[in-house]
Amino acid sequence: MSKRDYYDVLGVAKGADKKDIKKAYRSLANKYHPDKNPDNAESLEKFKEVAEAYEILSSDDKREAYDRFGHEGVNGQGGGYGGGAGAGGFSDIFGDVFGDIFGGGGGGGGQSRTRRGSDLRYTLELDLEQAVWGCDEKIRIPTLVNCKPCDGSGAKKGSKPKTCNTCGGAGQVRMSQGFFSVQQACPECHGQGQVISNPCPECHGQGRIQEYKTLNVKIPAGVDTGDRIRLSGEGEAGAHGGPAGDLFVQVSVKPHSIFERDGANLYCEVPISFTTAALGGEIDVPTLDGRVRLKVTAECQSGKLFRLRNKGVKPVRGGPQGDLICKVAVETPVNLTARQKELLTELADSMGDETDHSPKQKSWFDGVKRFFDDIKK
């Protein structure tokens, strides 16, 4: 029985690139996989046919021979689906395509036991002043460090880890059932490739122990909540002598009693007296670098904003310095004496129709009147 064209088997054009060929193979192999079609001889044959086609078309040399001479050019190079598939067999194809899922490629070779340590995150709370001006802070963190007695090897001083006899140091073993072959972590060394027969009594074979360490962190001026500072190599020590991870210090700025921050700008509410609001005047306003005099215009209404240029924050990533924006809040006088109440009464009488002196009140009452007139209509 003649074989089908390999390009037709995978459903790709003759000029298809490797990415399209691999994509087509994944889809068809998943469709006809024996685990999804148990006791289905037809699906099994199609699965073998798809695997054979991919084996040839995924190899530059085999594909070139097939394109020039057809099946005669690759006789004996495809269809290796026996229990111990050798070079170019089905198990190698499986490792190439699905290795990223099952944790390993189809080839042999040893596996390094060393692994990079985990990154750590530390949340550092700062006052607003510290965030704006910058500071140096000391932090104390728990972390895994290399065990000194065994120098991170996990083996007792004077001994060494031995190559695993089960996997030969590869860290993985291949399980075969019929034509189907799967790689998995070695059950003897748990994927390490080496076995520690005489573990270090200090770290119990782990190569790392937990300690606390104190670090000095330089906080640049202008940081804000959510900013991160990276300290390379200050994370957890790597397994079995591997490189350490990094420490990320995440900034969290505490609420301030006076100021609120929005990007580069600062905001604050400034209470002013009734007479200052009516007649105008100057008041002291706090900033992060001292007090300044703010001139309040006459007839100032509550909620009016005054902008003080360059009294905000210089952003950590550059850019112009922000402003301080002051929102005035007119206070109603309290604890009045009898004479003060008498004077206010005289003031109110002298004003007559108060709406002439209260523009917001007048516009509000006009709006209320229009509202009720619309309801009546």
Q: Parse the chain into domains and list their residue ranges.
A: 6-102, 111-160+201-255, 260-330, 338-376
- Homologous superfamily (CATH) of 260-330 is Urease metallochaperone UreE, N-terminal domain (2.60.260.20)
Res 247: pLDDT: 92
DSSP H helix total and E strand total for the chain: 9, 15
How much is the pTM? 0.55
Mean pLDDT within 90-113: 42
State mean pLDDT over 135-143: 91
CATH architecture type of domain 6-102: Orthogonal Bundle (1.10)
Pairwise CA distance, residues 294 & 50, whole Å? 81
What is the pLDDT at residue 137? 95
Which carries the bigger pLDDT value, residue 245 or residue 101? 245
Q: What is the mean pLDDT of residues 106-131?
A: 75
Integer Cα distance of 22 and 93 in angstroms = 10
174 vs 109, residue with greater confidence: 174
Q: What is the mean pLDDT of residues 64-92?
A: 55
Helix (H) or strand (E) holding 359: helix 359-376
Range of lowest pLDDT (78-82, 207-211, 237-241): 78-82
In degrees, to the nearest 5, what angle opens at C-alpha 24 toward C-alphas 21 and 30? 135
Question: Does domain 111-160+201-255 bear CATH number 3.30.590.20?
Answer: no
Chain-wide mean pLDDT for the chain?
A: 81
Give the Cα separation of 329 and 47 in Å (integer). 79
